[in-house]
Structure 1
Amino acid sequence: MMQLITPDLYGEFASELKEMHGLRHRVFKERLDWEVQTEGEMETDAFDGFKPVYLLLKGSDWRIRGCVRLLPTTGPTMLRDTFSGLLGTDVVPSTPDIWESSRFALDLPPSTPKAAGGLAQATYELFAGMIEFALANNLTRIVTVTDTRMERILRLATWPLSRIGQPKPVGKTEAVAGFLEISHASLLRIRWRGRLNGPVLWQPVLGLSA
């Protein structure tokens, strides 16, 4: 199940958010050895303080198995405030119909079902949840900073990244910025390749709270 947590629901789902920060520590600090801020086996950064929306993927055991963070580009973003060197000559997007995704992470057991391209079905679920959220909130694109490994995964999933500038070394990885298309066609492709039956995203009321 995909769960959408908006800022007004942080208190209600505090335990899920704590578990998410632990997952991010395992993925970004322990597995990938990125230079990220950690404390008490949890990973957080300044952008968690700007009231993002979180998408959480829960397994059949109800544990958090994946996450992604979403922020409007009209406010602070990682691309504008941390990785502007990846833009080249492009202008930082700042419009209500484009949001930024970051901290995409999955921590899956070996038994996780696979789908097209050899990717975990859970990868497609998280991608589908991002697109469903974006369509529900009239977004046209998602901008992101990722590494070239993740760029290959997006290509395999048929949701390719449209690059902004060229990849550059950032810490221990090669980072690249780009846009992801938001459309019903892209959602249908993700659902088909991921063998997903219908919508994956759940919230009491889908969309942003006032």
Structure 2
Amino acid sequence: MKALAVSRQGGEEERRLIHAQHGLRARVFSGRLGWSVTVADGIEADAFDCFSPTYILAVLDTGVLAGCARLLPATGPTMLETVFSQLLPPTGLPAHQGMVESSRFCVDTSITASEPGQTFSEATLTLLAAILEWCLYHHYTQIVTVTDLRFERILSRVGWRFDRLAAPCRIGVTDAIAGILPVDCATFLRLRPQGYRSEILSSCGAA
């Protein structure tokens, strides 16, 4: 498995992988989690896919997509401010040039089950490490994200500090929470799974 960072400006393979991540998002967020998202022809997409995001992908050696996440500068339109503003404190989002928003994080659990003795799948850890690696390379210092209480516990268990912006709020079928994650080399090196491979340049010496 390897980590990639792709955008719509890429070539044919990048476009194939971006299409695949839209399909994975439909299967996970609509099919598995029952979120209220827009799905058409097996594809989930929203307005934020039009703002030139970077997609962080975990891809099997066979070329099959195992997981994805979407990154956008927090100084531009964000999901947190426009879709999930009820998760913000009265002071609003403390956005700055060193902050990026992560959204649409998901893995294909049908192909990424944890190995015996492992708590988390390789795809989950690869994605988390790749997000950190990309942020480090592009000099971001914080990540803001909306997640649920289950994934907040996962972040705690892998040792990535999640600073809540406000109290959790029930949104649809989800107990949602917004928070900020620090970006640093120590967390990247701690999170990356054994044998981590990436095509994202890093200042932390990733293989």
Global fold match (TM > 0.5): yes
Residues 112, 122 of structure 2: 8 Å contact kept: no
Report if aligned partners of 1:116, 1:157 keep a CA contact under 8 Å in 2: no
Aligned equivalent of 1:118: 119
Report 1:130-145 matches (<5 A): 130-145=131-146
Instruction: Report if the CA contact (8 A) 2:8-2:15 is conserved.
Output: no
- Aligned 8 A contact 1:115 1:121 in 2: no
SS of equivalent to 2:9: helix
Query: 2:195 & 2:40 partners in 1: Cα distance?
Result: 39
Contact 1:90 1:165 (C-alpha < 8 Å) held by counterparts: no
Q: Give 1:114 deviation, angstroms.
A: 3.4
Partners of 2:118 and 2:189 lie apart in 1 by 16
Residue pair 2:133, 2:202 contacting (<8 A) in 1 also: no
Q: Distance in 2 between matches of 1:115 and 1:71?
A: 35
Structure 1 residue runs without a partner (length 5+): none
- Tell me the residue number matched to 1:178: 179
Q: Give the Å deviation of 1:61.
A: 2.1
| Two-structure CA RMSD over aligned residues (Å) | 2.1
TM normalised by structure 2 equals 0.90
CA apart distance, 1:95: 1.5
Q: Residues 65-123 of structure 1: CA distance to partner in whole angstroms, max 9, x if unpaired?
A: 10000000111000111111111223313222100000000003366443886111221
Aligned to 1:65: 66
Percent identity among equivalent residues? 37
CA distance in 2, matches of 1:185, 1:164: 23
Displacement after TM superposition at 1:160 (Å): 2.8
**2-structure distance, mates of 1:181, 1:65:** 25
Q: Is the 8 A contact 2:78 2:101 kept in 1?
A: yes
TM-score norm. by structure 1 comes to 0.88
Q: How many residues align?
A: 202
Q: Which runs of 5+ in 2 are unaligned?
A: none
